[in-house]
Amino acid sequence: MKLRKTLLTLAVSAACTGPVWAADDDRARVAMLHETTLNLIQLLVEQGVLKQDAADAMLAKAKQQAAEKAAQQKAAEAEAEKGVVRVTYVPETVKREIREQVRQEVVAQAKLERWGDVNAVPEWLDRLKWDGDIRVRYQADLFSKNNAPEAVFQSAGQNISNTLEDRHRERIRLRLGLNANVTSMVDAGVRITTGNTADPVSTNQTLGTTGNKYTLVLDRAFLKLTPLDDLSISAGRIPNPFFGTDLVWDDDLNFEGAAVRYTPWAKAEGVFKPFVAAGVFPLQEIEASTAVKARDKWLYGAQMGMEWTPNVHQRFKLGAAYYHYQNIAGIRNPALNDTFNNATAPQFRQKGNSLFNIDNDGNATTNLWALASDYRIANLTLVADFAQFDPVHVIGSFDWARNIGFDRGEILARTGQSLKKEVDGYQAKLTVGYPRTSLRHEWQAFVGYRYLQRDAVLDAFTDSDFHLGGTNHKGFMIGGAYGLDKNIWLSARWMSSDQISGLPLSIDVLQLDLNARF
């Protein structure tokens, strides 16, 4: 009985699998296998193990299954020739991985394209950042009755229009800036402000224009490249790249040219963080010709410094800078009616610097005033921030500048004048309160003293508010600010100054401001 079952199993297996083997082996083996299978089934019938009708049914079923498998194999071979791979079984773990991958891709695409967000905006808008502020000011300019008349100053070339009559005016300032993140390494910056194209150190617009509209000017336009996290390169009309106070540079002054700034470890938590800044800035481009002998005027600047944070309550920042002006001094016209050197006169001045007349037209009533000295400024700035009573800070700053380009011998040869050396300036200031008034009830108060000799810095670019701008003054300042609400605050400042040398000129300035930042 056991033998019969074994023979029957072999016969059935051979009948079912023979055609599959036939698809893989050569014809001789297939023929031998086919005959063996038939003989085996016939033997089982003769031995009575299998009935004839059952054997016939088994052979018919085997032929049908073999035909179906052959058809499937031919279809698979055809698909393989077309580059199609058919997978008859995918494990459940693989299915889960495929589902998760598809889900993550769909979610990421939905977030990027903001599916279902009715307030969605185009992606490029997220790369734009707006900022701005508006200030409304009341300003009183108060002059001592002991001042020399303005005509006396004007006869010496000083840019002064009033020395005796008090002036009260309302002023407004608007600034609106846009930063566009072009790529991960490139930003573009643009800012428009009130003001005019004749005054680089003021963005104020005085009210009282008989209802006329105000002028908007392009205050900044630059590209900023950040090839490394610690390195940035800016070119165009750029913000001031140097660390300092308004002793040398007015807060509203922007620079034309290119600057590089390197701040290693700026994002690290280290105690010492050095920084380096340098720039090249064209001040006045002059088209030279046979009738124009003046040369282009340039400013070169470099600064290095260190920020030291010994603990969370103390921070110190020190910067040492050198600013070199080229072709800034005037050159007298050599002969009568010559205009070769007219362009050596500055395009913009405030008041204070030593001047001489370079005109040579034979008319004593017309003069063209130019700078008598060269200007090469050494500058040292220190700021100390103490936050032991945080959020209230105690911040002290000291700024010192000296014009090491002043040479009495060169000036005598250039102008015929023997000028006294007045080349030093400094400013000390103490601030108590919040570092920035951004929220309601935040406050700040400050007091300071300023001393700036005639030729210590270029009068065109120093602070335009103290002494109503320029150099050759000394005095104190006091003021404060108080937050009315988020990004809205009141501020007040009183500045009192006198001349250091020369004609008497005492000026007090009061400024009351309502500010809003957005």
**CB-count burial class (<10 Å; 0-12, 13-18, 19+) for 375:** buried
Both tokens of residue 351? 């008041």
Residue 398's pLDDT band (boundaries 50, 70, 90)? very high
**Least confident among 78-87, 204-213, 362-371:** 78-87
Predicted pLDDT at 20: 44
Stronger pLDDT, 73 or 216, i.e. the higher one: 216
The total of other beta-carbon atoms located within 10 Å of residue 415's CB is 21
Residue 306 within a domain: yes
Residue 117 within a domain: no
**Least confident among 119-123, 174-178, 375-379:** 119-123
Token pair 């300032």 in the structure block, residue: 173
2, pLDDT greater than 50: no
Whether residue 224 is found in the same domain as residue 285 = yes
Both tokens of residue 235? 């070119």
Whether residue 495 is found in the same domain as residue 416 = yes
Give CA–CA dist 128/455, Å, rounded.
Answer: 43
Residue 141 within a domain: yes
Predicted pLDDT at 87: 55
Give the range of the structural domain holding residue 59, as residue numbers without chain letter: 2-81
Whether residue 60 is found in the same domain as residue 203 = no
444, pLDDT greater than 90: yes
Both tokens of residue 48? 């009575």
DSSP character for 268? S
CA 363 from chain centre, in angstroms, equals 51
φ, ψ for residue 31 (rounded to 5)?
-65, -40
Predicted pLDDT at 54: 75
Give CA–CA dist 212/410, Å, rounded.
Answer: 49
Residue 318 within a domain: yes
Give CA–CA dist 306/383, Å, rounded.
Answer: 11
Residue 106 within a domain: no
Give CA–CA dist 99/373, Å, rounded.
Answer: 78
Give CA–CA dist 340/287, Å, rounded.
Answer: 12
Predicted pLDDT at 236: 98
Residue 156 within a domain: yes
Whether residue 45 is found in the same domain as residue 171 = no
What's the pLDDT tens digit per position in 331-358? 999 888 888 999 999 999 999 999 999 9
CATH of the domain at 411: 2.40.160.10
Percent of the chain whose predicted confidence (pLDDT) is above 90: 71
Whether residue 267 is found in the same domain as residue 382 = yes
Pairing of strands 443-452, 424-433: antiparallel
Stronger pLDDT, 363 or 441, i.e. the higher one: 441
Decide: 387 and 312 in contact? Cβ < 8 Å. yes
Whether residue 155 is found in the same domain as residue 76 = no
Crossing angle between the packed helical segments 2-24 and 27-46, to the nearest 10 degrees: 160
Predicted pLDDT at 197: 93
What's the pLDDT tens digit per position in 475-498? 999 999 999 999 999 999 999 999
Whether residue 495 is found in the same domain as residue 417 = yes
The total of other beta-carbon atoms located within 10 Å of residue 218's CB is 11
Stronger pLDDT, 15 or 363, i.e. the higher one: 363
Length of the chain counted residue by residue? 518
Predicted pLDDT at 60: 79
DSSP string, 173-192: EEEEEEEEE-SSSEEEEEEE
CA 435 from chain centre, in angstroms, equals 22
309, pLDDT greater than 90: yes
Whether residue 71 is found in the same domain as residue 154 = no
DSSP character for 126? G
Whether residue 420 is found in the same domain as residue 507 = yes
φ, ψ for residue 418 (rounded to 5)?
-105, 100
Give CA–CA dist 409/406, Å, rounded.
Answer: 9
Across 40-54, 75-89, 179-193, which has the greatest mean pLDDT?
179-193
Q: Please name the residues in contact with 336: beta carbons below 8 A apart, sequence gap of 6 or more.
A: 360, 361, 362
Mean pLDDT for the chain? 89
Stronger pLDDT, 28 or 402, i.e. the higher one: 402
Q: Please name the residues in contact with 171: beta carbons below 8 A apart, sequence gap of 6 or more.
A: 136, 137, 138, 139, 204, 205, 206, 207
Both tokens of residue 381? 């700035």
Decide: 318 and 275 in contact? Cβ < 8 Å. no
Stronger pLDDT, 365 or 182, i.e. the higher one: 182
Give the mean pLDDT of 358-380.
90
Query: In total, how many domains does the chain have?
Result: 2
Stronger pLDDT, 68 or 164, i.e. the higher one: 164
Residue 89 within a domain: no
What's the pLDDT tens digit per position in 22-70? 444 556 666 676 777 777 777 777 777 667 877 777 777 777 777 777 7
Residue 483 within a domain: yes
Both tokens of residue 130? 């707006």
Decide: 395 and 386 in contact? Cβ < 8 Å. yes
Both tokens of residue 433? 């309160």
Predicted pLDDT at 69: 76
Structural domain ending residue among the three candidates 15, 47, 81: 81
Residue 273's pLDDT band (boundaries 50, 70, 90)? very high
pTM of the complete model: 0.77
Stronger pLDDT, 164 or 124, i.e. the higher one: 164
Whether residue 442 is found in the same domain as residue 318 = yes
Residue 302's pLDDT band (boundaries 50, 70, 90)? very high
What phi-psi label fits residue 333: left (phi over 0), alpha (psi between -120 and 50 degrees) or beta?
beta
Whether residue 377 is found in the same domain as residue 266 = yes
Question: Could you give the C-alpha distances from 360 to 10, 151, 157, 411, in angstroms and in order?
Answer: 128, 22, 15, 18
Predicted pLDDT at 363: 75
Whether residue 38 is found in the same domain as residue 154 = no
φ, ψ for residue 130 (rounded to 5)?
-100, 145
